[in-house]
C-alpha cells in the first residue's frame, strides 16, 4: 500500500506543500464521506514535519494498529515506533 506522503528527504520538499496536499486530500475524502488511514497518516506526517515532531504523536492507537497491519511505508526514525501487533498464525 502506498501513502500520499511526498519524499521528505528531497531538497525541494516544502512542509507547507505537504500540509496543503494532505488537507486537500482530507477535504476531498470528507466530501466523499470517507477518510482513509493513508489520508490521516499523510496529514499527520505533514503536520509533524512542520512542528519537528514524530507522526506517531498525531495518530490514534487504532490508526497505528492499522498502519502496522496494512504494512504501510513507515520510517521509525521519522514517524516514531509502531505498536507490536499479535499476528495469529505467525
- Summarize pLDDT for 17-38 with one digit per residue, the tens: 888 888 888 778 766 767 788 8
> Alpha-carbon dihedral of residues 58, 48, 14, 67, nearest 10 degrees?
-50
Contacts of residue 69, defined as CB under 8 A and 6 or more positions apart, other chains included, come to 85
Mean pLDDT over each residue of the chain, to the nearest integer: 79
Alpha-carbon radius of gyration of the chain? 13
Task: Specify the pTM.
Answer: 0.63
> If you average pLDDT over residues 4-16, what whole number do you get?
69
pLDDT at 2 over 50: no
Q: For the chain, give me the number of helices (H) and strands (E)?
A: 4, 0
Q: Please tell me the predicted confidence (pLDDT) of residue 46.
A: 84
Amino acid at each position: 500500500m502506498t501513502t500520499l506522503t511526498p519524499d521528505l528527504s528531497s531538497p525541494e520538499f516544502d512542509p507547507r506543500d505537504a500540509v496543503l496536499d494532505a488537507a486537500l486530500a482530507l477535504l476531498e475524502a470528507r466530501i466523499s464521506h470517507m477518510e482513509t488511514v493513508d489520508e490521516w497518516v499523510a496529514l499527520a506526517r505533514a503536520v509533524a514535519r512542520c512542528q519537528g515532531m514524530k507522526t506517531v504523536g498525531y495518530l490514534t492507537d487504532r490508526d497505528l494498529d492499522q498502519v502496522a497491519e496494512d504494512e504501510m511505508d513507515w520510517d521509525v526514525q521519522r514517524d516514531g515506533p509502531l505498536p507490536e501487533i499479535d499476528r495469529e498464525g505467525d
